[in-house]
Structure 1
Amino acid sequence: MIRRDAQRNREALVAAARQVLAERGVDAPLEAVARRAGVAIGTLYRHFPERGDLVDALLDEKTRAWADLARESLGADDPWRGLAEFLERTCELQAADRAFTELACLSHQDDGAEINELIHRLVERAQGAGALRADVGPLDLVFFMMANSRVAEAAPGHWRRHFTLMLDALKAV
């Protein structure tokens, strides 16, 4: 059983990491996480012996939320609207969370990732409805998200314009 103070510290570290990594990305200094949590760096390392342990805890959380978003989008009555909402909400997350951006841009490299299968299903569904260009594949959507993340980073607040232009390019004629 974990002591209450240890549990509080762990929760504070995860909450602080969520904020710091969203602001600065997965390579953010762990000292900044400990400082934001109000604990010593040694406390961070007692709970998360390696950087990867802390990052994995957050990325697992973000991956589950992203997969939930994709499943919700698959349930939309209109396949195009479902795909568009998935992309828009993903781009919103990227604009607000650098750690999520890094996750979204790297997820396509894991062939077994659930999100890849869900994106594939979103593409097939929208193409089956004649709404998405036939030559667009799941990897194109990953590139779409990668490009939009760079726009959000370079020109915060202007990513929606880029998103709208890119989304129009995906529509079937």
Structure 2
Amino acid sequence: MLRADAQDNRDRALEAARGLFAEHGIDVPMREIARVAEIGPATLYRRFPTKRDLIEAAFAQELGECRAIVVDGCADPDPWRGLRSVIERITLLNGRNHGFVEAFLSSSTEAAELHRHRAELLRLVAGLARRAQAAGGLRSDFAVDDLLFVLLAGRVLSSAPLEKRPAAARRFAALAIDALRASDAHESLPA
């Protein structure tokens, strides 16, 4: 249990990190995070000895949400409905916090724990996608990397005004889902 002032410093550091990561990505220097949090760099390093520790703490909630979204989608007895739910809910999460998506998709060694989770979640989504293809809902030439393309494209949602992001995210997700739906009208995708 931290003292009240130490907990306050930790909370301010996390709030500053979340805001800066969301706006500028995970390459923001630790000194800048300390400055915005109005704490000294030594205080920041006492709470978070490495930047990796800070990134993991800053995105713990989003990672939990992301995991719950994928697990819920995989549990749906209708795999196409489950995959659609994953795409829509992840897109809404993406619209709220593109910093998380950047960290989640990043190749930075600072986000190693997120990479481990990403690999596990993508494995689950790939299984769900195979089931959705077998059920005839998902186009046969879908690859799990296509979902990553959707996430990357959805990062633009963060440029919309905050109050318009949920509606924009739902519309973007609907367009992506429609593009992934099995249909005789679709042409084959390039390799």
Same fold (TM over 0.5): yes
Deviation of 1:86 (Å): 1.0
Q: State how 1:114-125 maps to structure 2 within 5 Å.
A: 114-125=120-131
Deviation of 1:106 (Å): 3.4
1:139 corresponds to: 145
Q: What is the alpha-carbon distance in structure 2 between the residues aligned to residue 112 and residue 161 of structure 1?
A: 25
Same amino acid, percent of matched pairs: 38
Q: State how 1:24-103 maps to structure 2 within 5 Å.
A: 24-103=24-103
Judge conservation of contact 1:67–1:118 (CA < 8 Å) in 2: no
Q: What is the alpha-carbon distance in structure 2 between the residues aligned to residue 119 and residue 22 of structure 1?
A: 25
Deviation of 1:30 (Å): 3.6
Please tell me whether residue 164 in structure 1 is matched to residue 170 in structure 2. no
Q: Greater CA deviation, 12-21 or 109-118?
A: 109-118
- Residues 48-97 of structure 1, C-alpha deviation per residue, up to 9 Å, x if partnerless? 23323211333454333312210011122432221111111111111111
In structure 1, list runs of 5 or more residues that go unmatched: none
Q: What is the alpha-carbon distance in structure 2 between the residues aligned to residue 112 and residue 154 of structure 1?
A: 24
Q: What is the alpha-carbon distance in structure 2 between the residues aligned to residue 33 and residue 90 of structure 1?
A: 27
Q: Which amino acid aligns with 2:182?
A: A
In structure 2, list runs of 5 or more residues that go unmatched: 108-113, 184-191
Q: What is the alpha-carbon distance in structure 1 between the residues aligned to residue 106 and residue 118 of structure 2?
A: 13
Q: Which amino acid aligns with 1:132?
A: L
Q: What is the alpha-carbon distance in structure 1 between the residues aligned to residue 56 and residue 117 of structure 2?
A: 18
Q: What is the alpha-carbon distance in structure 2 between the residues aligned to residue 155 and residue 30 of structure 1?
A: 27
Number of residue pairs matched by the alignment: 172
Aligned CA RMSD, in angstroms, stands at 2.9
1:105/1:27 CA distance change after superposition, 3 Å:
same
Q: What is the alpha-carbon distance in structure 2 between the residues aligned to residue 61 and residue 153 of structure 1?
A: 18
TM-score for the superposition, normalised by structure 1: 0.79
